[in-house]
Homo-oligomer: A and B are copies of this chain.
Amino acid sequence: MTAGLTLAVDAMSGDHGADVAVPAALSVLACTPDLQLLIVGRGDVVRPLVAGVDASRCRVVEASEVVGMDERPQDALRRKKDSSMRVAVNLVKKGEAAACVSAGNTGALLATARFVLRMVPGIDRPAIVSAVPAAHGHTVMLDLGANPDCSADHLVQFAVMGSVIAADLHGIEHPRVGLLNIGEEDIKGTDEIRAAHRRLGGLPINYRGFVEGDDIFSGDVDVVVTDGFAGNVALKTMEGLARFIGSVMREEFTSSPLRKLGALAATPALRGLKQRLDPRAYNGASMVGLAGVVIKSHGGADREAFASAVRVAIVEARKGVPAQIGGLMARVAAAEARVAPAG
């Protein structure tokens, strides 16, 4: 392989496996001149899909097993050492790939990545982070489900990681960080949240205080920090409401011939709406805090959505997100040590 950026793609996981992952990755390859791909999976499945692709830019790496979507993380970790997921993560560990992308089982991917890659110094646990559409473009949100119970330490670490992602992925210079709460007064929330709030004010990040659920969309902050329980609930609530509004719209726009005609006249606006809220454009959640770039695609992603996840992996690899997180975390630790020296 020539110089440039190499990505490992878990070609076998997800609801649609290689039929989605491989064409999606190849479509990104076609428009990214310095990219090389390591397509990880069973040769008999994957090879036909890469036939005709320049071998200097796309190589198949054999992996005989696949982690099931419902498989328990510990089982995947212990028993499937030759899974496409594990081999893809191993390639990152060995430095043969700068990042990996998988549409596999979230718990198994988290456990595998954490076991193989280990954490960035100063970060206790990986978090799942993604962007969601908002008034000013998008808001970076974490944790989306990796850590249902969080201490103040974890929330502070999430704020650091979210700042790095907003700066590196979205080009925001001093990302404004908000801590999700159920009111904006200092007395609201749990003990952990109030403790994190007190600490965040003194750190070298652009902390703006408590925000509420509606601020995910308001444009008042660029990063929303929360524990994995509330974050996952918020994310799934959004998905459910968007789907529900979509179905009510379809009903309203098809309930009579006249309304169907109206929908026809409104097609450009409805198409614009759909494009701006298209969840596929937001596919590709980062598992941050790991000492390597691991991107999780939605299990049910189609080719366009999986391609978005591949593009996220490219940006994070080029920016060196893990090193950036390590750097900011070290500055944060130094700032906290100045405030409370020795114990």
Residues of A within 8 A of B (CB): 72, 133-135, 145, 148-149, 180, 182-183, 187-190, 212-218, 226, 228-230, 232-245, 247-249, 252-253, 255, 258-259, 261-270, 272-273, 276-277
Contact = CB atoms under 8 A, between A and B. Distances in A.
17 contacts: A148-B182, A189-B229, A213-B237, A215-B240, A216-B237, A217-B241, A230-B230, A237-B237, A237-B241, A248-B273, A248-B276, A253-B269, A255-B272, A259-B266, A259-B269, A261-B265, A263-B269
B272 A252 contact: yes
Contact of A243 (B217, B243, B273): B217
A190 B229 CA distance: 9
A182 B228 contact: yes
Contact of A233 (B180, B187, B243): B180
A134 B238 CA distance: 13
Given A189-B229, A264-B265, 11 more contacts: A133-B244, A148-B188, A190-B229, A217-B244, A226-B233, A229-B230, A230-B233, A245-B273, A252-B276, A253-B269, A266-B269
Contact of A182 (B145, B212, B214, B255): B145
B273 A262 contact: no
A269 to B, nearest CB: 4
What's the dominant secondary structure at chain A's contact region? Answer: helix
A238 B248 CA distance: 15
Nearest to A144: B182
B262 A265 contact: yes
A244 to B, nearest CB: 4
Nearest to A149: B190
Nearest to A212: B236
B259 A234 contact: no
Contacts of A252: 269-270, 272-273, 276
A185 B252 CA distance: 36
A330 to B, nearest CB: 31
Given A213-B236, A236-B213, A148 B266 contact: no
